[in-house]
Structure 1
């Protein structure tokens, strides 16, 4: 009997993850950080500004800046000057290699299909100026400020503020970042740099280390728990592509989710208040109580059904796994929790193939491929495997074994 890994394969991650893809971490590009040099300096246009850490006095924290990065957008990194030996390549060296390996004059910026507008009760936001087709990439932004995830734990607050001031002030156009501030006022004791970072930074990994990052264009997008756009980070050039979750019409506000897509309201509301300082009033959170409760129930059902599908596959109960996966997909589609169902359609194809139902398997594989093509993912490594599965099934079906084989599951079907 085929193993769980053989049946679920690459898309297994889709139902194994408790937290479905969130705003920045959705469907990340393959990791391929350039080879790193341990010498710090070649990537930076300014001499680093460093402050000793009270936690590790022998390892200063510094602000490193390259003001020419990606067409003089610039990038600043706040991190320890040295990392301990647990890393094969230090995170700072990895970032230095990424930044120094890129041509500052070659970068991707699609024609603007949106504009900044004042939004009632939300300050400003982005509004589409033309129809954005589902799956289309309409924005490419680049990380401008990156701060190591341990910054607030390793530095005194006033020292962290000093490094933020230097990191932003050394950019070619600091105002591009500073104008993102939402709460700083003359009488406020919070520096504008801290306000910007606190309200606009997203967590993202580069290699083996986590960083908080500010993307100035993406930061203009307001949150919605049922957004119409999503972001996809590429650590090889620190870019973040924004894709239409569904068709977005001219005049419609463009929104992303600041939290993982599968959270029920009881979990996402406190997280938004704690992390970004606002009470969410999006269309999903503003549903009548009974409708909101039904939405929460569907989201909780997704969390429960995913592990059950895996368990049934491990037990060889493919019919039951298909039935539960159908329920899972229905709940996810009703909640619009994923931009496309390609991974889940591929799982259905693998389950049917394991049972010898080749025609049904090919049908599901074809649907998966259409989903991937719609989002420009057809050249990814895992999707190449799917193409091979489809080609193999066509040969089986045309070779006289028939669209389906009686007798259910068996060995070697994959």
Structure 2
């Protein structure tokens, strides 16, 4: 069965470089379509994914009929999505497939003129309605319109860590969600179905704007502001960034402590002083900072630390919490989520069982 709707268009910088080509399927995801700018080997691998070989896996994705939100103009924030019904933590906001994917290596493998020409061709080959979704997005950096929209709105994903298949993907719907350093929603990407899932991280009330974080929310305020200004051109006005200076200083102190404790808990050498109490402090600090997604890591560390001293019941409690938050923050295929399922099922046969206690025993 033919996967691609057009004959691939290919370019390379010189004889010493690989070819990079445009692969387009206008039939993908029930006619939404997709263009992929990548090398032929990666395209072949993508064409073998369930997203292509079993269309049923994406048959009901991209459906926004009866959506529980609406697009509204928001003072000082442009447009955003506002909830029209309550969301509970874990509820799905929506799921979408990318309309465009570009291999990160193209930036080095092609000169700028050729790369921009290829990107324009990739968008031209999309179905008209899907192409319009791309072109309706806003850019920030200026220059080539297609490239500007990509640089402003794309999400970075890894298709296969073993093959170093890193791509930027375009999801016009997710790009409508504004930033907040303490967001109420988060996303993760399933590389098998090429589906980007957005879920509520906490309860959301009617009339509340949906938000995601464009950056690492554990950064201190000044760093967050600098990254957002440089990358998206705006000064963040979220509650975490606009509180009084005395509260900002306290928040930054907690964030510095979170960074220190995380590194200590990740250190499993003889020199580490980490303990269950260290993990409990990390959990508490994440709660105080309203880090509703990254707290999954704190729960994971707590499960490991308690298992490391032989307290399997408390380890299982934190493993279950890590799974519940991890499924929202990283997805079901995340290595920590899988590890926590294993610990919860059989703590005494998990690698962490008694590892802290036995390390110090004579």
Normalising by structure 2, what TM-score? Answer: 0.82
**Which residue among 39, 50, 55 is the counterpart of 1:103?**
55
| SS class of match (1:266) | helix
**Which residue among 45, 52, 72 is the counterpart of 2:5?**
45
Aligned position for 1:181: 138
Aligned position for 1:279: 235
| SS class of match (1:143) | coil
User: Is 1:324 the equivalent of 2:278?
Assistant: yes
Q: Residue 267 of structure 1: CA displacement?
A: 2.4
User: Is 1:71 the equivalent of 2:30?
Assistant: yes
Aligned position for 1:193: 146
Unaligned residue ranges in structure 2 (runs of 5+): 351-355
Change (3 A) 1:322 1:69: same
Q: Deviations over 1:137-196 (max 9, x none)?
A: 221011111111122333333322222222112111211111112469xxxx73432232
Unaligned residue ranges in structure 1 (runs of 5+): 1-40, 82-89, 394-407
| SS class of match (1:166) | helix
Q: Distance in 2 between matches of 1:249 and 1:127?
A: 9
Q: Distance in 2 between matches of 1:378 and 1:97?
A: 21
Q: Distance in 2 between matches of 1:58 and 1:392?
A: 48
Asked whether the equivalents of residues 116 and 124 of structure 1 are also in contact (C-alpha less than 8 Å), the reply is yes
Q: Distance in 2 between matches of 1:364 and 1:54?
A: 54
Q: Distance in 2 between matches of 1:262 and 1:56?
A: 44
Q: Distance in 2 between matches of 1:66 and 1:350?
A: 45
User: Is 1:93 the equivalent of 2:35?
Assistant: no
RMSD of aligned Cα (Å): 3.1
Q: Distance in 2 between matches of 1:150 and 1:239?
A: 22
Asked whether the equivalents of residues 91 and 206 of structure 1 are also in contact (C-alpha less than 8 Å), the reply is no
**Which residue among 285, 306, 310 is the counterpart of 1:352?**
306
Aligned position for 2:107: 152
Q: Distance in 2 between matches of 1:264 and 1:271?
A: 11
Deviates most, 371-380 or 229-238: 371-380
Q: Deviations over 1:242-290 (max 9, x none)?
A: 1111111111111111112221123222222222232222221222222
Change (3 A) 1:325 1:367: closer
Asked whether the equivalents of residues 299 and 321 of structure 2 are also in contact (C-alpha less than 8 Å), the reply is no
Q: Distance in 2 between matches of 1:144 and 1:409?
A: 51
Q: Residue 55 of structure 1: CA displacement?
A: 5.0
Change (3 A) 1:102 1:278: farther
Q: Residue 221 of structure 1: CA displacement?
A: 0.6
Q: Residue 299 of structure 1: CA displacement?
A: 1.4
Number of equivalent positions: 340
User: Is 1:302 the equivalent of 2:261?
Assistant: no
Change (3 A) 1:278 1:102: farther
Asked whether the equivalents of residues 202 and 292 of structure 2 are also in contact (C-alpha less than 8 Å), the reply is no
Structure showing greater Rg: 1
Aligned position for 1:244: 200
Q: Distance in 2 between matches of 1:139 and 1:305?
A: 34
- With a CA cutoff of 8 Å and minimum separation of 6, indicate the structure with the bigger relative contact order: 1
Q: Distance in 1 between matches of 2:85 and 2:121?
A: 38
| SS class of match (2:155) | strand
